[in-house]
A = this chain, B = another copy of it.
Amino acid sequence: MPERGAVTLADVARLAGVSLATASRALNGSTRKVRPESVDRVQAAALELRYTANVQAQAVARGTTTTLALVVGDIADPYFAAIAAGAIRAADDAGLVVTITSTGGDPAREAAVLGVVAGLRPRAVVLAVSRRLGAGLTSGGSDSAAAVGALVAAGAGVSALVSDLDGAAAGVPGVHGVVIRNLSGAAALAGALVEQGHDSFAVLSGDPDLVTAHARVEGFVAGLAAHGIRVPDDSVVPSAFTRDGGYQAMVTLLDRAAAGSWVLPRCVFAVTDLMAVGAVAAIRERGLVPGVDVGVAGFDDVQMLADVVPALSTVRLPLEEIGERAVRRALGLEADGAIDGEVVLRASTAR
């Protein structure tokens, strides 16, 4: 056994008494045939030496890696974590290792991150980041689009999670969009709530620059409009796209109602489950009963929030499946396709 550092193929070949080429063919699949006996000897030697092929060297020699890059906004966010879980599963099925890089939600960092990713020469890359309106894949003054273009040119399959309303995928040739139908999902939710008897609404719109947030608001408003219900402009309140943002926005609404200048709608739609949870907390803090005094609906159906009380009405998104499909799409294993959410009505809007 070599002193230190890893065992190389040459070590194995020597011990097995065969050439480098034969050892390579025996160990790592090759179309060429090798005498069974040699294969055995090589495998035995590899085992004895605890040989593991150096993936980097293989990549250089083969000109292609076994890496799939996943770029997420924030891995601690359950939304992205669920997508990552699905992506890892699918990549694993394809024999690929996943590298995760995080933009931290900072669009300016995106180009830099993509540069690093490009250096990895991944077989495919999945972009699961919150896009900003009008930014396409280009943002923060830096040129993410160019980086993605380079990735594509270098032969990587790229797929980006996009919201309908998102021009991102269309902007860059070679990028496949896994579109999530936020628009119609939100519209369907609106319809379901109306049918449930709700007739006045407010919307916690999160960051209106985020395509996803924007699409959900648009869809919800349109869905209400189809039932003849209008949402006054001042009832759509922006905030951070987080739990605390939801809390703050709801506080704003409650304050306004308390001041008597405005009447609190019977139902509030938060563009995210997380934001909805924040809203519920705010409502409860005011001594009101969420789900009774004022209904709250979210979006995503984040698993971890299944036990919040009242149970959230929401639009279920098959997050893990989305991650899997994005990977399969990037690898060219699957055709483009949109993903629909499913309206789930629960206690938080039961009236």
Contacts and interface: CB of A to CB of B under 8 A. Distances in A.
Contacts of A226: none
A76 interface: yes
Contacts of A75: 75, 81, 84-85, 88
A196 interface: no
B97 A99 contact: yes
Interface residues on A, range: 35 or more
Interface stretch (A18-26, A58-66, A162-170, A258-266): A58-66
A81 B120 CA distance: 23
Q: Which of A56, A98, A150, A155 counts the most B-chain CB atoms under 10 A from its CB?
A: A56
Contact of A81 (B63, B78, B153, B281): B78
A309 interface: yes
A8 to B, nearest CB: 11
A119 B55 contact: yes
Contact of A6 (B154, B243, B284, B320): B154
Complex copy number for this chain: 2
Contact of A76 (B54, B59, B82): B82
Contacts of A67: 99
A280 interface: yes
A157 to B, nearest CB: 14
Contacts of A76: 78, 81-82, 84-85, 303, 320
A320 B278 CA distance: 22
A50 B78 CA distance: 35
A4 interface: yes
A196 to B, nearest CB: 23
Nearest to A80: B81
A146 interface: yes
A252 interface: no
A304 B305 contact: yes
A195 to B, nearest CB: 28
Contacts of A100: 84, 88, 98-100
A283 to B, nearest CB: 11
Contact of A146 (B50, B57, B89, B120): B50
Given A55-B121, A78-B78, A116 B97 contact: yes
B74 A65 contact: no
A101 interface: yes
Interface string A283-302: 01000000000000000001
25 contacts: A4-B153, A4-B155, A5-B155, A6-B155, A52-B119, A54-B60, A54-B121, A55-B119, A56-B56, A56-B60, A60-B60, A75-B75, A75-B81, A76-B82, A76-B84, A84-B100, A88-B100, A97-B101, A97-B120, A98-B100, A98-B101, A277-B307, A281-B307, A304-B304, A308-B308
Interface of A: 4-6, 50, 52-57, 59-60, 63, 65, 67, 74-76, 78, 81-82, 84-85, 88-89, 92, 97-102, 115-116, 118-121, 146, 150, 153-155, 243, 277-278, 280-281, 284, 302-309, 320
Given A78-B304, A97-B99, A278-B307, 12 more contacts: A6-B153, A54-B60, A54-B119, A54-B121, A56-B121, A75-B88, A76-B81, A100-B100, A243-B306, A277-B307, A281-B307, A302-B304
